[in-house]
Structure 1
Amino acid sequence: MLEISGLRAGYGGVEVLRGIDLSVGAGEIIAVLGSNGVGKTTLNKVLSGVLAADAGEVMFEGRSLRGLSPVQVVEAGLIHVPEGRKIFPNMSVRENLELGSYRRARANRASNLDLVFETFPRLRERMGQMAGTLSGGEQQMVAIGRGMMAEPRLLILDEPSLGLSPLLVEEMFALILRLNEQGLPIMLVEQNVVQSLELAARAYIIENGVVTLSGAAADIRNDPELKRVYLGL
């Protein structure tokens, strides 16, 4: 579904992505892993049309995304749930969710809202509550639910476990697996290595703007190179 080749991008002449190659197939969970500052967020910005690529190609379902605006990327069905949730704290849960269908799937808003509430029963209970008063886990549910409202063809989740308690992290990863089992391809961009590799079919490790390790998640989990990247061993 997604094919990235030779992708280069950066800010003000400073190159952050230095030739990224990766792909996501239909129905897959792909983990993109790396510590802070290696280029994960920059990659997501390029895929979402927020940041222009300097070189390389991004193909989504056979169509180039190079030069498309964020609106056009959303309309194509590539939906990004950003790091830090980025919800609207002074709007209700329902209003936040409905904004997810502003540019895509507006005609199915009511049925998709029901689907989100089936997936996240707690949000149904809190649909009239201001989103900023929710717990961190509930706010993450709102962010993912907002993405679901757009009927994504591919969902990019950027650090969904960030700031959550260990129990809520377990719950969040179980939810991601359920969404994938319903047929939704997911690109999981995370620092949580262990649980991401348990969930994903394949994984890519990014260091200093390049992919240094890729393959089946089970193989990467047992690769000594993983310990070197994260633990310096």
Structure 2
Amino acid sequence: MLEVRDLVAGYGGVPILRGVSLEVGAREVVAVLGANGVGKTTLNKALSGLVRPMSGEIRFEGRRIDGASAASIVAAGLIHVPEGRKIFPNLSVRENLELGSYRRAKPNRAANLDRVFATFPRLKERERQFAGTLSGGEQQMLAIGRGLMGEPRLVILDEPSLGLSPLLVEELFTLIRRIAADGPAVMLVEQNVVQSLELAGRAYVIENGHVVMEGPAERLKGDAALEKAYLGL
């Protein structure tokens, strides 16, 4: 579904990613792991059209999208739920969700809204509440729900557990597992190694703009080199 080959990307002519290659298959959950500053967010921005690659290829369902606009990438079904939630605090929960279908799946808005409320019952309870008054965990649910409103073929979840309590992290990963079971492929970009590897089928570890480890999640869980690569020690 997603094929990235030798991707080089960065800012102001300075590369952050230095030849990253990875794949995500249909209905697959793939984790992309790494500490802060290794290039995970740059990767997400390049995949979603917010950063133009310097070189390399990105293909989504067989079609090259490197250099395509963010709007056309969303319309194709690759939807990025960004780090930091990026909700609209002065709009209601419902209004935030409805904006998720602005570029894609607008005819199915009502059905998708029901589906999101079924997945995240707390959002239904707070449907008319201003999004900025939600707790951190509820805002993260809203951000993911907004992404699901566009009927993604592949959804990129960028640090969904960031800033949440351990109990909320556990709940969130359970919900992500349920979302993946319902159909879209998931690329989970995280610092939370243990729970990400419990959820994903395969994983990539990025360090200093390079993929330094990859393989089945079950194998990586038992790899003594993972801590070294992940922590950069």
TM-score calculated relative to the size of structure 1:
0.98
Cα pair distance change 1:181/1:219, threshold 3 Å: same
The Cα shift of 1:13 comes to: 1.8
- Within 1, Cα distance between the matches of 2:48 and 2:105? 18
The Cα shift of 1:229 comes to: 2.1
Unaligned runs of 5+ in 2: none
Letter in 1 for 2:187: M
Residue 17 of structure 1 corresponds to 17
The Cα shift of 1:225 comes to: 1.1
- Within 2, Cα distance between the matches of 1:38 and 1:61? 27
Letter in 1 for 2:119: T
- Within 2, Cα distance between the matches of 1:18 and 1:99? 35
1:43-76 CA distance string (max 9 Å, x none): 0000010100000000000110021100000000
Letter in 2 for 1:26: A
Sequence identity of aligned pairs in percent?
A: 69
Residue 118 of structure 2 corresponds to 118
- Within 1, Cα distance between the matches of 2:58 and 2:11? 19
Residue 90 of structure 1 corresponds to 90
Within 5 Å, give how 1:48-59 maps onto structure 2: 48-59=48-59
- Within 2, Cα distance between the matches of 1:95 and 1:107? 16
1:140-173 CA distance string (max 9 Å, x none): 0100000000000000000000011000000000
Count of residues in Structure 1 that have an aligned counterpart in Structure 2: 233
Residue 99 (structure 1) aligned with residue 99 (structure 2): yes
Residue 3 of structure 2 corresponds to 3
Tell me the secondary structure at the aligned position of residue 204 of structure 1.
strand
Which range moved further: 39-48 or 222-231?
Answer: 222-231
- Within 1, Cα distance between the matches of 2:89 and 2:26? 34
Residue 42 of structure 1 corresponds to 42
Residue 199 of structure 1 corresponds to 199
Equivalent pair of 2:10/2:42 in contact (CA under 8 Å):
yes
Tell me the secondary structure at the aligned position of residue 85 of structure 1.
coil
Unaligned runs of 5+ in 1: none
Cα pair distance change 1:52/1:112, threshold 3 Å: same
Equivalent pair of 2:35/2:231 in contact (CA under 8 Å):
no
Residue 32 of structure 2 corresponds to 32
Residue 180 (structure 1) aligned with residue 180 (structure 2): yes
Residue 224 of structure 2 corresponds to 224
Tell me the secondary structure at the aligned position of residue 220 of structure 2.
helix
TM-score calculated relative to the size of structure 2:
0.98
Residue 77 of structure 1 corresponds to 77
- Within 1, Cα distance between the matches of 2:198 and 2:34? 16
The Cα shift of 1:215 comes to: 0.2
Superposed structure 1 runs of 4+ greater than 4 Å apart:
none
Tell me the secondary structure at the aligned position of residue 205 of structure 1.
strand
Residue 166 (structure 1) aligned with residue 144 (structure 2): no
Cα pair distance change 1:100/1:232, threshold 3 Å: closer
The Cα shift of 1:214 comes to: 0.2
Letter in 2 for 1:168: L
Equivalent pair of 2:207/2:232 in contact (CA under 8 Å):
no
Cα pair distance change 1:228/1:77, threshold 3 Å: same
